[in-house]
Amino acid sequence: MAKPQAVVDYKICCPKKCKNGICLAVLECKHKVLKQDEPGEAPYQLGMCQGCATCVTACPYKAIRLI
Ligand code: SF4
Ligand code: SF4
């Protein structure tokens, strides 16, 4: 069975509200799946999500969910 995949809801994600524009979900993703090019920019997925949901709980705005 396929693992659930993390999806960023870009209508909710607001990197500028996060401390110093740093995405907490990117910091917490131990599998290095989520990337952020610059502080203040929205994160995106690059690579194979492991479905661990760490990013879901890390984002204070509930902008990430697993599908
Ligand atoms: S996903 Fe969450 S933690 Fe990451 S930049 Fe967006 S709002 Fe901030
Ligand atoms: S679910 Fe886990 S592996 Fe997938 S992006 Fe989130 S923290 Fe990374």
Q: How far apart are the first and last CA of the chain?
A: 13
CA distance 8 to 53: 12
Write the residue with the smallest CA distance to atom 7 of ligand 1: 13
Identity of residue 67: I
Q: What is the pLDDT of residues 17-62, one digit of tens each?
A: 999 999 999 999 999 999 999 999 999 999 899 999 999 999 999 9
29, 35, 66: which to mutate for ligand 2, most atoms within 8 A of CB?
Answer: 29
- In this predicted structure, the answer to whether residue 1 has a pLDDT above a threshold of 80 is no
Contact predicate 8/18, CB 8 Å: no
Tokens of 56: 């879901």
Give the domains, in start order, of the chain with CATH numbers: 6-66 (3.30.70.20)
Phi, then psi, of 12 in degrees rounded to 5: -100, -40
If pLDDT is split at 50, 70 and 90, which confidence band does 2 have? confident
For ligand 1, mutation pick of 64, 65, 66 (most atoms within 8 Å of CB): 64
Residue type, 38: E
